Structure 1
Amino acid sequence: MYSLDVNFLKDRPAYQKKPEKKGGISLKLPTGNMTPVYVGVAIGVGIPVLLGVGWWILQGKIVELEGKVAQLDQESKRLDTEIGNLNKIKTETNAIKGETQALVTVFDQIRPWSAMLQDLRDRTPVAVQIDNIKQTPPIVAAAGQPPSNPAGGLEINGLARSFNDVNDFLLILQQSRFLKSSESRILTATLVDAPLAPGVGQPTAGVIIKPPQVVRYTIQSSMSDVPASELIRELEKKGTVGLVTRIRNMQQTGVIPK
């Protein structure tokens, strides 16, 4: 007998062979873990986007910085102008200060004759007589050089009872703040006959009376270079009120230091 061996499994759909497509392209999708692929795609797309965003932000910052630079340039020009004006004012102020200081220096070197003559009268001993006082010009140290003492000096001529009286008079003068003690000296001292008083003559009987002898002297001194602002007490004692008042007014304004 014949037995039929029939395989019915081949008739099931799962075992049916799909017909092959001719002339087409078969696309096979990768299988397995797809994360690296997704990451690569994200990176490939994200980097251009980030670069674009970064470039846009950078352009904004550049525009902002350019605006600040322009603003700073304008501010710098304004400050340069103000600095120039301040330097000009400073130069003018220094010039005015220099002129003022020069005037103050000249003013501070004033020696009022009234005060100096009163000081000489107060210091003249009883046995000394002053005939005349004259001012001597400043002594120039060298050609083209300013004088060592612009105030000049004094020359005092007169009569004294003796040489000791002349020496005492010199010592008293050296104590005066209106004169330089180191430059006060006796130029001449000579014995002479005392001059007759006005209206007194020799007797007519032929008798000649010889007058007593006295010392004719010449004392020379230089005026002190101490500023007048430091001689306020001496000037007040000698009655020089006007000069003292002006000096104190300038001290209050700060032109002359106290």
Structure 2
Amino acid sequence: MYSLDVNFLKDRPAYQKKPEKQGGISLKLPTGNFTPVYVGVALGVGLPALLGVSWWLLQGKIVELDGQIAQLDQESKRLDTEIGNLNKIKDETKAVKGETQALVTVFDQIRPWSAMLQDLRDRIPTAVQIDTIKQMPPVAAAPGQPPNNPAGGLEITGLARSFNDVNDFLLSLQQSQFLKPTESRIITATLVDAPLPPGTGQPTSPTNGVTIKPPQVVKYTIQSTMSDVPASELIRELEKKGTVGLVTRIRNMQQTGVISK
């Protein structure tokens, strides 16, 4: 008879023999939650795609901006040309205004001789005689000083019956609106023999033939500077002296705004 010897201890895990390692590589698949893996794969694939789309959109935007910049450059060049034309017109207008103002300034300083002579006739005393009236040129301004009156001045010479008559004439001239009162003065005043009428000789006494000495008179020289008040401010005085033409031109320029009222 045969007896069976069964060893149940060998069936326990502790007694199981480990399989021998072979030359191949054994792969073990991870077990558990695969969500992080999926997220990583999505990021790895999505980020490059997103960057590619962003780069494509950026390139399109750059092309669009380049077109706008070119258009703005053309518009800037056009505006620069128009600005240059406007500046040229402004310069020409400024030059014309300067020439006009210079002409108006000269015109406004005009003193008609007819008005000046009429003013002298109205002011000369009865015992004073005028021989000559000479216009003096303006005195050059000193360095660093403002220009003097371009109208210049007057020099009046003549004869008067006495020194008081010369003084009266000077006081009358100082009241004239065509002259500067502070710059009207007597330069010379001397006693001289009264001049004989043209064509007559020295008178003599019919009784004894003694030469009669002529009376003495005062020979004077008065100088004055013309007023620098604009003619537009002397309209009433010019009208009184009969200067109608100048007054009419001044009023026309005032109406056009060239000369202020």
Q: TM-score, normalised by structure 2?
A: 0.78
**2:220 corresponds to:** 217
Measured after TM superposition, the shift of residue 87 of structure 1 is 1.9
How much has 1:250 moved relative to structure 2? 1.6
- Separation in 2, partners of 1:197, 1:90: 67
Report the CA distance between 1:182 and its aligned residue.
2.8
Alignment-derived partner of residue 113 in structure 1? 113
Q: Counterpart of 1:154 in 2: which secondary structure?
A: strand
**What is the aligned residue count?**
236
| Unaligned 5+ runs, structure 1 | 1-23
Q: State yes or no: 1:237 paired with 2:240.
A: yes
- Partner residue, 2:206: 205
**Aligned match of 2:20:** none
- Please tell me whether residue 248 in structure 1 is matched to residue 251 in structure 2: yes
Checking the alignment, whether the CA contact within 8 Å between 2:156 and 2:221 is kept in structure 1 is: yes
Residues 1:185 and 1:30: Cα distance change in structure 2 (over 3 Å): same
Residues 66, 182 of structure 1: alpha-carbon distance in 2 compared, 3 angstrom cutoff:
same
In structure 1, C-alpha distance between the alignment counterparts of 2:70 and 2:186, rounded to whole Å: 80
SS of 2:99's equivalent?
helix
State the one-letter code of the partner of 2:54: G
Q: Does the Cα contact within 8 Å between 2:205 and 2:212 map onto a contact in 1?
A: no
Preserved contact between residue 138 and residue 150 of structure 2 (Cα < 8 Å): yes
Q: Name the SS of the counterpart of 1:122 in structure 2.
A: helix
- Secondary structure in 2 aligned to 1:256? coil
Deviation at 1:199?
Answer: 9.3
Kept after mapping to 1: 8 A contact 2:160/2:219: yes
What is the aligned-residue identity percentage?
84
**TM alignment of 1:29-68, pairs within 5 A:** 29-68=29-68
Residues 138, 147 of structure 1: 8 Å contact kept: no
Describe the shift of the 1:122–1:105 C-alpha distance in structure 2 as closer, same or farther (beyond 3 A): same
Query: Is the contact made by 1:135 and 1:153 (CA closer than 8 Å) also made in structure 2?
Result: yes
Name the CA shift for 1:64/1:141 in 2 (closer, same or farther; >3 Å).
closer
Counterparts of 1:97 and 1:130, CA distance in 2:
43
Superimposed CA distance per residue, residues 66-100 of structure 1 (whole angstroms, 9 cap, x where no aligned partner): 01110111011111111211222122222212221
In the TM superposition, what whole-angstrom CA distance separates every residue of 1:96-129 from its partner, at most 9, and x where no partner exists? 1222122112211211011111111121123322
Q: Distance in 1 between matches of 2:245 and 2:132?
A: 26
Matches of residues 132-211 of structure 1 in structure 2 within 5 Å? 132-140=132-140, 148-195=148-195, 202=203, 205-206=206-207, 210-211=213-214
Q: CA RMSD in A?
A: 3.1
SS in structure 2 opposite 1:126? coil
TM-score (norm 1): 0.79
Assess, with a 3 A threshold, how the Cα gap between structure 1 residues 163 and 58 changes in structure 2: closer, same or farther: same
Q: Evaluate the alpha carbon distance shift between residue 138 and residue 151 of structure 1 in structure 2; reply closer, same or farther with a 3 A threshold.
A: same
Which structure 2 segments of 5+ residues have no match?
Answer: 1-23
